[in-house]
Amino acid sequence: MSRAVLLEARNLQVHRGRVQVLAVPGLDLRAGEVLALMGPNGAGKSTLMLALAGLLPLSQGSLRFKGTELRSRSDREAYRRRMTMVFQDPLLFDATVAQNIGAGLKLRGLPAGERAPRVLAWAQRLGIGDLLDRSARHLSGGEAQRTALARALVLEPEILFLDEPFSALDAHTRDGLLDDLGHILAEAGCTAVFSTHDHGEAARLAHRLAVMREGALLQTGGLREVMNHPQDPFVAAFVGMETLLKGRVAACREGLLTLQLGKGAGGREVLAMGEAQPGQTALVGIRPEHVALSLQTDKSSSARNAFQGTVTKVIPRGPFFKVELDCGFFLAAFVTSQSLAELGLEPGSPVVASFKATAAHLIRREGLDAEV
């Protein structure tokens, strides 16, 4: 079911001094969706978020909230009261956790008796119900960020903006907060925009992704769409599509293409999904989580691509290991620690890597006479 558009941004442009740091032709935010703004440092994520939140003067462009354009100062002020923002730095006052969480409600004139139950409820949902009387100066980084989130959520905003909310936290703390926030946003049906440079965070929270570089949106779409069908090599690398293979299209029928890999790959062919003309040069991407490793070719497997290879590197990646292979071409796979031990994988180990044709996606086509 398609949800109503809550916020429409058109032709957003922001300059810092004479330099244009944001140029976004259009972006819509639908009610109840979580949108992740992704990009490297300086890509313009914070600038876009501040612009969407109406907190930054635009050189050009317009924002519509629930169909009404925010033209006047009072329109923008009214809009700002309906959204809240959380930053990487929790920015807590020198007061108790309860006073911090209730600060926005107090500002809105809610009496103490009405504030207390709401503060308690949100503190409990964020797992800090037993810290209400603690001074905010004596909180861990994770507790402080939970307090900042409770302070934002207690206002029941129509849009929650989160600017790199997890990046100052250690991996374990971040993991717990991501889980809790994911549940809270889903339960509350909250509309949220958050920025991150980590595709793992984006995959855990977001319904939609917008990938940015140099103040521009490179690709916007559903989580799976962008993760599996990045439209260019930069987006592919940024969303964790670690293997990119270039070759010449040997055949293509009904969306299934045979790619003959370039120099050094010994004429190996990969079956991939996509439309291209025979003779064209094409780039195909494969996500590491879609590559299976085994010690022998599994004849019962439905995977259309299977290659003998040698392990070149084993790199810990959170709960998984990334295994890099030389199959005559580079290939990366994720395995669990259990599989790693069972297969006895270490640099130099022989291994068979397999993946389905549906896991190999056409990213870009080039000319008939392009270099492979």
Q: How far is the CB of 27 from ligand ATP (least distance, A)?
A: 15
Instruction: Count residues binding ligand ATP (CB under 6 A).
Output: 11
Our CB check for ligand ATP shows the closer of 39 and 309 to be 39
State how beta strands 208-213 and 192-196 pair.
unpaired
Q: Nearest to residue 310, comparing CAs of 343, 347, 336?
A: 347
Verify binding: residue 46, ligand ATP, rule CB under 6 A. yes
Verify binding: residue 47, ligand ATP, rule CB under 6 A. yes
Verify binding: residue 55, ligand ATP, rule CB under 6 A. no
Our CB check for ligand ATP shows the closer of 31 and 216 to be 216
Question: What's the angle, vertex CA 188, arms to CA 182 and CA 193, rounded to 5?
Answer: 60
Tokens of residue 257, six digits? 């293409």
Q: How far is the CB of 367 from ligand ATP (least distance, A)?
A: 33
Answer for the pair 123, 129: CB distance below 8 angstroms, yes or no: yes
Tokens of residue 1, six digits? 């079911």
Verify binding: residue 39, ligand ATP, rule CB under 6 A. yes
Q: How far is the CB of 278 from ligand ATP (least distance, A)?
A: 41
Distance of CA 346 to the CA centre of its chain: 30
Q: Which of residues 171-230 bind ligand ATP (CB under 6 A)?
A: 197
Q: How far is the CB of 214 from ligand ATP (least distance, A)?
A: 8
Which of these segments, 42-50, 67-75, 109-117, 238-246, binds ligand ATP (CB under 6 A)?
A: 42-50
What is the Cα–Cα distance from 53 to 47, expressed in whole angstroms?
A: 10
CA-to-CA dists, residue 162 to 90, 131, 310, angstroms: 11, 23, 42
Q: % helix / strand / coil in the chain, to the nearest 5? A: 30, 35, 35
Query: 25, 26, 42, 278: which one contacts ligand ATP (CB under 6 A)?
Result: 42
Tokens of residue 15, six digits? 């300059």
Our CB check for ligand ATP shows the closer of 16 and 108 to be 16
Q: Which amino acid appears at position 34 of this protein?
A: V
Verify binding: residue 354, ligand ATP, rule CB under 6 A. no
Verify binding: residue 43, ligand ATP, rule CB under 6 A. yes
Query: 6, 7, 9, 21: which one contacts ligand ATP (CB under 6 A)?
Result: 21
Which of these segments, 41-49, 186-194, 277-285, 360-368, binds ligand ATP (CB under 6 A)?
A: 41-49
Verify binding: residue 45, ligand ATP, rule CB under 6 A. yes
What is the Cα–Cα distance from 117 to 101, expressed in whole angstroms?
A: 11
Which of these segments, 36-44, 172-180, 307-315, 326-334, binds ligand ATP (CB under 6 A)?
A: 36-44
What is the Cα–Cα distance from 34 to 218, expressed in whole angstroms?
A: 18
Our CB check for ligand ATP shows the closer of 21 and 331 to be 21
Q: How far is the CB of 242 from ligand ATP (least distance, A)?
A: 21
Q: Which amino acid appears at position 118 of this protein?
A: R
Report which secondary-structure segment, H or E, holds 34.
Answer: strand 34-38
> Which residue in the block uniquely carries the two structure tokens 């941004």?
9
* Positive or negative torsion for Cα 71, 73, 77, 83: positive
Query: 3, 16, 183, 313: which one contacts ligand ATP (CB under 6 A)?
Result: 16
User: Where on the chain is the footprint of ligand ATP (CB under 6 A)?
Assistant: 16, 21, 39, 41-47, 197
